[in-house]
Amino acid sequence: MTQHAIEALTFDLQGETFALEAGLVREVLDLLPETEVPGAPPFVGAVINFRGRIIPLVDLRVAFEMERGDPTIDTRIVVIEHPLDGEPALIGLRADKVHEVTTITHETTEDVPRIGLRWRTDFIRRLARRDGDLIVIPDLDQIFAARGQTASVTSLHPTQAR
């Protein structure tokens, strides 16, 4: 692996392939019972019980203004650890389908074009090419900051959580 390569978990949202740095991923789960949070925005409208801890379930399809389809047999929850407000936090991300961990080199990625995308360009860190397809590497910091949902996320350090 070169210095400019990352190991990334790839997954689908509405037929588009996305990738998250594999180091963020704690676990990939089958669907779990969800508890809807009354009044919560659709981006993070539910919570799940992850090994005895209540964590938010984020729907990135909402951030990318995609249709929210019904769950299928391939739907998974990707639990990640991501820093929010300076604290590591566990977050569940809904994925239509999870693929594999793959290596993405810097040479196969490009900056996001300023025009021509149907999504907010600040929500995308880079685009990667693989076998003629594009892989979207989302900018989770930007997405979570723009959606302003950090207050509802469970800290990894429950004794420090309010």
Q: In this predicted structure, what is the pLDDT of residue 162?
A: 39
Query: Which secondary-structure segment (H or E) carries 76?
Result: strand 76-84
Return d(Cα 47, Cα 152) in angstroms, integer: 10
| pLDDT tens readout for residues 25-59 | 999 999 999 999 998 888 998 999 999 999 999 99
DSSP string, the chain: --TTEEEEEEEEETTEEEEEEGGGEEEEE----EEE-TT--GGG-EEEEETTEEEEEE-HHHHTT---PPP-TT-EEEEEEEEETTEEEEEEEEESEEEEEEEEEGGGEEPPPSSS-SS-GGGEEEEEEETTEEEEEE-HHHHHHHHT-GGGSPBS-TTT--
Return d(Cα 80, Cα 78) in angstroms, integer: 6
CB 128 within 8 A of CB 106: no
In the chain, the domains with their CATH numbers are: 5-148 (2.40.50.180)
Q: In this predicted structure, what is the pLDDT of residue 120?
A: 86
Per the listing, tokens 């209540």 go with 54
Q: What is the mean pLDDT of the chain?
A: 87
| pLDDT tens readout for residues 73-93 | 999 999 999 988 888 999 999
pLDDT above 70: residue 72: yes
